[in-house]
Amino acid sequence: MDRGSDTVVVQPPLLDRLPSRRPGVCCRIMNHSGKDFILAEIERRRVGAIIRTEGEGLASDAMKAAVAGGFHMVEFTLTTPNALRLISEFAKNTDLIVGAGTVMSPQEARQAVDAGAKFLVSPVCDAEVIAEAKTLDVVSIPGTFTPSEMVAAHRSGADLVKLFPSPGNIAAYVTSVLGPLPYLRIYPTAGVTPENFIEILGAGATGVGFVGSLFDVTDLSARDFAAIERRAAGIIQHLP
């Protein structure tokens, strides 16, 4: 979009502007991988695992199960104890895109990126956090709900917009928004399940994030990581 006018320039997806890659083969994520590269990888991988727990060890083990099941995009919310250490740990795996969630200030953005985060997610739209992500050359995904909030985030420089909270019928909502605003890259999280994510992607969402529907609270309490791995594998198996 040209911010100096009302003209909307719809760019083709970044994937269409990069060399083709064989399906199922993940590009290595290096320390110097810039925002455009990461954004293209997010568009290609399409599904992310998002963990929020009250324990560092539990978060690590649960996310390892999701990775073992086939997830290659992971997010640790900064409300999780020692989230920065978890980001650093998982960023050592160059098959993974690692991000930080619940980023609420430029300082938290810098700390997350220093730890290895390649994308920053917030539950709200904060122009200062978006600007800091641009300075740090990482992907910004602020939280939005209404079309007006999404456009405001886009005009502020957001790379994707997180749909939060869930509108109920997520796929129908995404379709409605993208009708008049096809240039938006929408990334729903809350309300995404193994049962509805295919429909949401089919509606035009750039990607989706799995939270409680992947990391079931009962499985976490029981430390049943095998169940999480099986659920993750089932999601990946059905990914278009």
- Collapse the DSSP code of 179 into the 3-class scheme (helix H, G, I; strand E, B; otherwise coil) and give the result: coil
Burial class of residue 169, CB neighbours in 10 A (0-12, 13-18, 19+): middle
In 3D space, the residue among 179, 145, 142 whose CA is nearest the CA of residue 157 turns out to be 142
For 12-58, how does the pLDDT look when each residue is reduced to its tens digit (9 = 90+)? Answer: 443 333 233 333 445 676 666 799 999 999 999 999 999 999 999 99
CB of 75 closer than 8 Å to CB of 99: yes
Q: Helices 106-115 and 127-136 sit at what angle, rounded to 10 degrees?
A: 30
- 142-189 per-position pLDDT tens digit: 999 999 999 999 999 999 999 999 999 999 999 999 999 999 999 999
At 11 the pLDDT is: 42
Enclosing H/E stretch for 49? strand 47-51
Question: In the predicted model, what is the mean pLDDT of residues 3-11?
Answer: 40
Q: Give the integer Cα–Cα distance in Å for 226 and 223.
A: 9
**What's the pLDDT at 240?**
80
Q: Name the CATH code of domain 30-237 (choices 3.30.70.580, 3.20.20.70, 1.20.1560.10, 3.30.470.20).
A: 3.20.20.70
Query: pLDDT tens digit string along 90-129?
Result: 999 999 999 999 999 999 999 999 999 999 999 999 999 9
Residue 139, pLDDT score: 98
Which amino acids are annotated catalytic?
75, 162
- pLDDT at 64 exceeding the cut of 80: yes
63 Cβ neighbours under 8 A, 6+ residues apart: 49, 51, 74, 76, 86, 90
Domain boundaries along the sequence of the chain: 30-237
**Which residue bears the tokens 């994510």?**
197
